[in-house]
Amino acid sequence: MDADLDRLIHLQRLDSAADAARRRLAEEPERHKALDDRLEAARHALAAAKERLTESQHARREIEKEVAVHQSRLSKYREQAMSVKTNVEYHAIQKEIGFEQGEIKALEDRILERMLEGDEMTAEVKRADAELAREQKAVEADRRALAAESADLHASVERLAAERAGVVGGLSPQVLALFEQVAAKRHGVAVAEARAGICTICHVRLRPQVFNTVLRNESIVQCDSCQRILYFVPAAVAAPADSLGHPAP
Ligand SMILES: [Zn+2]
């Protein structure tokens, strides 16, 4: 294989890997934001559960105050009942007493409902609290993983840049210029494999004479359609391709 073509394939592999690493790094703020949002949602759920509990307890105290009002009226009527003079007065007071007792009974039923509700809401607060603790742990673990991945990515970007400098140093300046020019126009991908007469990136069929030249891998040939520099992977060499589908060097 032509030495420059071999270096171009290598260069493309390095650039594509560096590009993928940089794209992943660029997603970091968004991934941190997603973790912040998860924590915020758990905190919000806990705050909302606490607020519902507080409201329920407040409502219960209001009903208890009403009960106290009715109880003091009831006591007052009972005292009055001691000193009534007539049957009519007695019945009237008894009616008031009955009314107050009914009110108190109804209010006490409502207090009981609020107590049951309070128990549920207390359990809900506990659940939300435990959920927040779980989320805090999970988010911390995710942040540590993210930081480790970030360090790996930065290291590989540096390693790829150093390796790139070595490859570029061996390339002829015109070929490098062509690579850079095509890469700039084609989202960083300047080299394409030609397979079965087709450019595997733009999928346009090559002229037979172009493909025949590419088959030999002995010169720099560009795709007529996308301008990418073409290479061919012979079947015997293609066999030990790695798991990512990269041809063996
Ligand atoms: Zn093409």
Mean pLDDT by groups of 10 residues along the chain of 249 residues: 96 97 97 98 98 98 98 96 93 96 98 97 98 98 98 98 96 96 97 97 96 96 97 73 50
Cα(19) to centroid of ligand 1, in Å? 20
Strand order in the sheet with 191-195: 198-199, 191-195, 229-231, 221-222
Q: Distance from the CA of 226 to the center of ligand 1, in angstroms?
A: 4
Interval between CA 21 and ligand 1 midpoint (Å): 25
In the reported structure, the alpha carbon of residue 240 is separated from the centroid of ligand 1 by a whole-number distance in angstroms of 25
Q: How many angstroms separate the CA atoms of 177 and 42, rounded?
A: 54
Ligand 1 geometric centre to CA of 26 (Å) = 28
pLDDT per residue as tens digits for the range 5-23: 999 999 999 999 999 999 9
C-alpha 40 chain-centroid distance: 13
pLDDT (0 to 100) of residue 235 = 80
Helix, strand, coil share (%) of the chain residues, nearest 5:
75, 5, 20
Q: What is the pLDDT, as a whole number, of residue 169? A: 95
| Confidence at residue 240, expressed as pLDDT on a 0 to 100 scale | 52
Which has the closest alpha carbon to 161: 26, 24, 19, 28?
19
Tokens representing 98 are 């009955």
**What is the 191 CA–ligand 1 centroid distance (Å)?**
9
- 38 to each of 29, 114, 145, how far by Cα in Å? 14, 32, 16
What pTM was estimated for this model as a whole? 0.75
Q: What is the pLDDT of residue 246?
A: 54
3-state class (DSSP) for residue 246: coil
Distance 216 CA to ligand 1 centre (A): 18
Region for 81 from its dihedrals, namely left if φ exceeds 0, alpha if ψ lies in -120 to 50, beta otherwise: alpha
Please tell me the distance between residue 249's alpha carbon and the centre of ligand 1 in angstroms. Answer: 22
Q: What is the pLDDT of residue 236?
A: 65
Distance 16 CA to ligand 1 centre (A): 17
Query: Which pLDDT belongs to residue 249?
Result: 45
